[in-house]
Each structure stands twice: as structure tokens, then as C-alpha cells.
Amino acid sequence: MMHVAETGAAGVHIFFVISGFIMVYSSFPHEASRFRALDFANKRAVRIFPVYILYCFLYLAIYAVVLNGKNLSIVPTLLSLCLWPGYSGLIIGPGWTLSFEVYFYIAFFIFMKLGLRGGLVGLSLFFVASIFAGHFLDRGNPVIHVMTNSLLIEFLIGAWIGYGFIAGIQISRPVLFIILAGAFVGFFSGVPFNSKSFPTVLFWGAPSILLVASLVFIERHGPLPKIVSRLSKLGASSYSLYLLHILLIDLFLRFLSARFEWTSLTGPIASAVLVLLVLAAWMISQTVAVIAYEIIERKLITMFRRSSIRSKDTSISYPMLANSRHGLSASHPRDLRNAAESEVRSTPSETVRRE
């Protein structure tokens, strides 16, 4: 049962591969496009930090009042809010992955100034050299641990998948479905084993790469089933889900523990109860995440993007507006508001393109 539960760890690796793909796909509409470094940095900061920091304060408040508290001093709290390696998981547990995300953004920001192809080659050489150098450095240092971690390969391959996609590489549907099947075989073949016995970049990273690559290129052959678009809100709310689910599960378990004695159950009944608890926790977390996205995350991102647009010289055409399908001018506040909101209220494919 525990090995089955560990399969959930694959989600982090899928997230890393997708992130690499999105960075290329959203930054380079065409292979020869010019990289807008400052625009990239601004969008990434707005997408990650405001929501993360707000939810961190929510965690601290609820843990202090309802749960056991986190007892963090000022410096660790500030470093956690900055997603500094070694501290990023102190308030929100999964925050450690965002340290990798931010580091990848920084490296991408630097190397993509060389252009897409040259930047990816340079980024590849740098990451491979860093991982190799990690064998000779003190990986107990959290910063060095992030900079030399083999997980960077997943970001990198995701970026190369993005390059292949915008370069127009074609793969036949039968081959893609074989690759997709290989991804699922890879995930489920690991169930009987302890994932800690193998490098995670192989154990979960390899099938994650196959999964993302196959689905991305399958979509090129035509629209995905309608069920995918109907579930788009689940995808849109994934960041809120990622950040809030630990808090929601803790509150759910606290509620149950105060009313039911379920921890002493054994045998098949215990397994059945565990499955029901997992399903209930998932449904609660997903529902709250969708609501949080609509009333908090989306509005917060819109507000910061609108503020960012207004801070630019309106005499200079803002890239997002100048090239948008809305054909808006940056000179009218209503246009600024509509354009900023359109960045958040997009269809899944459009969101990936601009994010």
C-alpha cells in the first residue's frame, strides 16, 4: 500500500518537465523569436510569489490558531518567503520544489539571451557540468544541492520538448500512443519497488518525460477530447491546490480525530477507511483549490499584472498588448484591465502559451 502511495511523488517530476516545456513554449512563439528577458522575469515573479506569500501567511495564521503552530523565527520565515533553498519548505512543505523552479527561471533568464537554440545548448552544458561537479562539492549546502541536483535534467528535457514542438517536429500518432503507453508502464512498474532504492530522475523522471512529450505532440494532431477542456479549471487551479493541500489535509485530519476514533482500525477495514479518507481529502482539496483560484489567485495575478503594465511607459507599446489577439492600445485603463485579465482567463492552450 505504501509503495502505491509513493506513486504520488511522480507528480513533482511531471511538474518539473511541464515547467521546462512551458518556459520555452511561452517565451518563444517561433524558433527565431527574440527573448524578452525582463518581460519573462516579471511574468514569472508575478505568477509565483504573490500567491505563494499570501498562502504562507494563511498557513502561519491557521497553524497558530487551530493547529500546533510552526514556531519560526523572523529570519527563517523571511528566507522561506523568498524561497531560499533549505528554507522554502518550512511554511508550506512542497515549497522546496519552488526553489528549483526559481533557480531554473534564473538560469533560463541568463542563457536564453543567446537565443533559443544557443540558449538551450548553453543551458544543457551548464546543467550537466553542474550535476557532475556536485560529486566533488558539499551537497549538504542547500544552495549547492539545488544547483547540482539531477532533477535539473527534468526541467532541461522539458525545455527541449518545447523546442521540438515549436520547431515543428512531427511524430506519428501510433508512435505517440506507444510512448504514452510506455509512460504508464513506467509509472506502474515502479509500484512493487521502493522508490528510494533508485535515482528518482530515472524512477519517476523518465516516465514523466514520456508522458509530457507524448501528450504535447498528440494534441498537435487535433483537439483533445472535450472532457479535457471541461476539466480545464482543475488545471488552472493546480497551483493553489499544490500550495494549499497540506493545510487542508491537516485540517481535515484534525476534524476527524476530534470526532472519530479511526487510527486504531486494522486489516481490510483500515485499508477501506484509508482509501475513503484519501478520496475525501482529494475532493475537499480540489474543491477549495478551485474556489481559491477564482476568488484569490486569479484576481491577485490580474492585479499585479495590471500594475506591471501601468508601470511601463505607455508611449512604448507593451509586448503583450501590441501582439495580443485583442489588438488593444496601452493607453486606456480599461484596455489595460481587460488585457491583464485575459492573461488569466484563457483556454488551457492559450494559458500555456503566455505563461
pLDDT at 294 over 60: yes
Looking at 222, 250, 279, which one is the last position of a domain?
222
Q: Which residues lie below 8 Å from residue 148, measured CB to CB, with a gap of 6+?
A: 130, 131, 133, 134, 137, 139
Alpha-helical segments (H) within the chain: 2-6, 10-27, 37-65, 74-81, 95-111, 116-133, 142-147, 152-166, 173-189, 200-203, 205-220, 226-230, 232-236, 238-259, 267-292, 298-311, 319-322, 333-344, 348-354
Lowest mean pLDDT among 185-189, 211-215, 301-305: 185-189
- 83-105 average pLDDT score: 95
pLDDT at 273 over 50: yes
Whether 317 and 280 share a structural domain:
yes
Identify the band that residue 193 occupies on the pLDDT scale cut at 50, 70 and 90. Answer: low
Confidence (pLDDT) at 305: 84
Task: Give the range of the structural domain holding residue 318, as residue numbers without chain letter.
Answer: 227-355
Q: How far apart are the first and last CA of the chain?
A: 37
52: number of Cβ within 10 Å: 20
Whether 211 and 232 share a structural domain:
no
Identify the band that residue 18 occupies on the pLDDT scale cut at 50, 70 and 90. Answer: very high
The C-alpha cell 511561452 sits at: 26
* Cα 243 from chain centroid (whole Å): 10
Grid cell listed for 275: 482509501
Give the orientation angle of helix 74-81 with respect to helix 37-65, to 10 degrees: 140
Whether 217 and 333 share a structural domain:
no
Whether 216 and 249 share a structural domain:
no
Identify the band that residue 6 occupies on the pLDDT scale cut at 50, 70 and 90. Answer: low
Whether 36 and 140 share a structural domain:
yes
Whether 213 and 236 share a structural domain:
no
User: Is the CA virtual torsion 113, 20, 126, 40 positive or negative?
Assistant: positive
Whether 93 and 215 share a structural domain:
yes
Whether 66 and 192 share a structural domain:
yes
Domain count, the chain: 2
Identify the band that residue 330 occupies on the pLDDT scale cut at 50, 70 and 90. Answer: very low
Whether 188 and 239 share a structural domain:
no
The C-alpha cell 476568488 sits at: 295
Confidence (pLDDT) at 23: 94
